[in-house]
Structure 1
């Protein structure tokens, strides 16, 4: 179980054509499992980069990120992959469902090559029920609405019960009403499962529903507020 994430003077830069771009810089933040954190800011402010770093999809060029005091990205690729599988679930703006697989098979896909201490099909059906789509388990993505596809993607993200759920603009391709339902579902999972949630969004109406809101600009944290904003 991963209970705490610490970002210690974290920076990420990219070099190209003789120019260095600082995607994020001087990030000092800590997060506790169970928190629901929204991350807001204009395009290019570093929100998605920060999420990729926290999710171990990328590594910092300066500073370090600790998970319960351990620097996971210093380990070998298999250890990083195993950590990510055990502790982190991802939800993206694009649903990334495999078009030739049914809803149930898409939810199962992270488990295909893994040994787990539970029945994979039973677990997949359980999380489909959690997201309200038990009746769609045999449907292909093309037979589902955008909101339903995102629910399948959420079920896939939580199938191994992650400690942290990282959502990068998960409502960006949805209409307002559907987006609010997706937010409510993620909030419900946060409360029921106790997972920490990082919710990157451009929608201020959703951002203020979190119990912590981080505002970014030009790769830096402008503010970090806790409490009720709504």
Structure 2
């Protein structure tokens, strides 16, 4: 299957205090299966809103999104939940780990209510080892550094082997060196597993390492450039 993402005429408006704000303004873009795309822009440019809509955490005011040539507007609430579980992994600036659960339990959390064709504990252990946390499986988030917590969050995002990783400023709360390590990990997962990555960032140096860079301003795409990734 071709799990490319196609956005057609996406518009997102918010209403508050009698004022209508347009966060996305007729966005058209295609994200090809397996590519690594960075999205840059100043605060309020619409990049995080676009990512939320791509991941079906929010819905557009108008326009459509096609996954594998299917319009997600045809999915009901349960269908969207199943779609997100099967195809989308989310990584955020805030790690969103449950403080009373160990690293292993946090990674297993998305699987608790799901029937899957593999051993949940073994899969969680494998992905934690993949992100370099074999010795931290029984640690609580409070016992981990920021970089380690983000690696747990990445392990949680990839535990069901999604087709796409959507990362919203995943290095924003980390120092430069740790941020580079996290970015390198996402690059390795993209190359080795073939999962597409859409990476929202304020860091132009990281953005320039992607296959492609999209620049946004005022809810519009200003530029969409292919890059020569090393």
* Alignment TM class, shorter chain as reference: over 0.9
Is residue 2:152 matched to residue 1:137? no
1:229 offset after TM fit, Å? Answer: 6.8
> How far apart in 1 are the matches of 2:73 and 2:113?
22
Distance 1:27 1:87 in 2: 22
**Is 1:59 equivalent to 2:68 in the alignment?**
no
Are the equivalent residues in 2 in contact too, given 1:213–1:226 (CA < 8 A)?
A: yes
Residue correspondences, number: 230
2:18 equivalent in structure 1:
18
Contact 1:53 1:59 in 2 (8 A): yes
Shift of 1:218: 0.5
CA contact (8 A) 2:51 2:168 kept: yes
Report the alpha carbon displacement of residue 72 of structure 1 after superposing the two structures with TM: 1.6
Is residue 180 of structure 1 aligned with residue 180 of structure 2? yes
Rounded Cα–Cα distance in structure 2 between residues aligned with 1:163 and 1:229: 20
> Is residue 2:226 matched to residue 1:222?
no
Q: Does 1:70 align with 2:70?
A: yes
2:119 aligns with: 119
Q: Which residue of 2 aligns with 1:4?
A: 4
**Residue 89 of structure 2 contacts residue 162 of structure 2 at CA under 8 Å; is this kept in 1?**
yes
* Structure 2 unaligned spans of 5+: none
- 8 Å Cα contact 2:10/2:60 also seen in 1: yes
Per the alignment, residue 205 of structure 1 pairs with 205
Pairwise CA distance, 1:2: 5.5
- SS of structure 1 residue aligned to 2:70: coil
2:162 is aligned to: 162
DSSP-derived class of the 1:190 partner: helix
Measured after TM superposition, the shift of residue 29 of structure 1 is 0.3
SS for the counterpart of 1:177 is helix
Instruction: Measure the CA separation in 2 of the matches of 1:10 and 1:229.
Output: 28
Contact in 1 for aligned 2:166/2:197 (Cα 8 Å): yes
Question: Is the CA contact (8 Å cut-off) linking 1:42 and 1:202 kept in structure 2?
Answer: yes
Matched, 1:90 2:101: no
Cα displacement (A) at 1:17: 1.7
Contact in 2 for aligned 1:73/1:80 (Cα 8 Å): no
TM-score normalized by the length of structure 1: 0.98
SS of 1:187's equivalent in the other structure is helix
SS in structure 2 of the partner of residue 73 of structure 1: helix
SS in 2 for 1:138: coil
Contact 2:208 2:227 in 1 (8 A): no
State the TM-score, normalized to the length of structure 2.
0.98
Aligned-pair RMSD on alpha carbons?
1.0
- Determine the C-alpha separation between the residues in 2 that align with 1:125 and 1:73: 36
The reply on whether 1:149 has 2:159 as its aligned counterpart is: no
